[in-house]
Amino acid sequence: MKVAIAHDYLVNRGGAERVVAAMHRRWPDAPIFTSLFHPEATYGGFAGADVRSSFLQRFSRDAAAFRRFLPLFPRAMASLRIEGFDVVICSSSGFAHHVRPAAPARVLVYCYSPPRFLYDPGYGLEGVAPRWVRPVLGPVRAALRASDGRAARRADRYLAVSAVARDRIEQVYGLRAEVLHPPVTLGAPPAAGEPEDQWLVVGRLLPYRRVDLAVRAFSRAGRRLVVVGDGPARAALHAVAGPTVRFAGAVSDAELTGLYAGSRGVVVPGREDFGLVPLEANASGRPAVAFGDGGALDTVRDGKTGVLFAEQTPDAIMAAVARAESIDFDRELLAAHAARFGEDAFFERLTAVAREVIAG
């Protein structure tokens, strides 16, 4: 089975990029096709990979400004020359599924969500879209939606990262998708000793992730919070943060593992596509406090591996934190829970589905 991998863009350090890095470890000879590649801005595991970027690479010098190319991403992915493969596995929360490989290659899409900036009114596209697009944002969004739907229906098979992603795929594209949870690739043995009196937030700083709720909650309570990650919402978060909130920015895997082990747990204030961050915390023996909706429902067991809260408010977050701190979580149980989402089971199923797709 000759595999190629496609991904939206390699300019971030996020859960989707971790999945692609795991795919690269499993199929090290498979080229990775993407619209943009900035090795300094993503995980080091891609440094030796055969990454083939689109024509947009010639115009992109700043990884943080990749959104200026938003209307061009579908054309960029479709322009990639992909020949001589049995299957292209598309890791997509944007436009990776727009690839058009030469026959007889099949297209298998591993979807985190249909593009939030096209279909989710809470995403805040108006704030992150390039300025030159904003005056015509409505028509541009309509054209991109139409193009996106056509590309989705050309694919041979869809897999979804979670139940909520599966439901979005059916709602937006009218397609049925099997749920295959992504693998947990970060973690250390459960940490011994007592952690510091601090909590973490981990992820890209985008408005829909509602990191502002956690920042406000911990600032008001005078409790320590470490925010890991970067993104366009960072300045706004700094503006509402108190002295007990520290912004760590992008960190290495080793640093992140140390932060998980050295903190009481992780807070997930937004509605996520999948609850990967709670599992990463669990792998180090730490619980998660998460909004009880979306992908967190696939991975957080209330009272066992973390605590779920029902309302997205600072008060609800701090009440959930207090409840989590009152529970004596079994660190070995947390690590065992995370291990159920390991790479072996993921790739066993992904490989089986890829072979089914190739067989037609």
**Is the same domain home to 150 and 291?**
no
Name the residue among 338, 266, 347 with its Cα closest to residue 299: 338
**Is the same domain home to 282 and 143?**
no
- Distance CA(14)–CA(17), nearest Å, equals 5
First CA to last CA distance, the chain? 14
Query: What's residue 128's pLDDT?
Result: 58
Q: What is the CATH number of the domain that holds 91?
A: 3.40.50
Q: Exposed (0-12), middle (13-18) or buried (19+): which is 256, by Cβ within 10 Å?
A: buried
DSSP character at residue 173: H
- One-letter amino acid for residue 134 of the chain: R
Query: What's residue 84's pLDDT?
Result: 97
**Is the same domain home to 14 and 99?**
yes
Whether 67 is covered by a domain: the verdict is yes
Whether 206 is covered by a domain: the verdict is yes
Pick out the chain residues at pLDDT < 70.
122-133, 186-191
Query: What's residue 38's pLDDT?
Result: 94
Domain interval for residue 323: 198-339
Number of domains within the chain: 2
**Is the same domain home to 243 and 121?**
no
Query: What's residue 275's pLDDT?
Result: 79
**Is the same domain home to 135 and 149?**
yes
| Alpha carbon distances (Å) from 188 to 91, 229, 329, 331, 339 | 26, 20, 17, 12, 11
Query: What's residue 129's pLDDT?
Result: 66
Question: What's the pTM value of the predicted model, to 2 decimals?
Answer: 0.84
The per-residue DSSP string of 21-51 comes to: HHHHHHSTTS-EEES-B-GGGS-GGGTTS-E
To the nearest whole percent, how much of the chain has pLDDT over 90?
77
Whether 189 is covered by a domain: the verdict is no
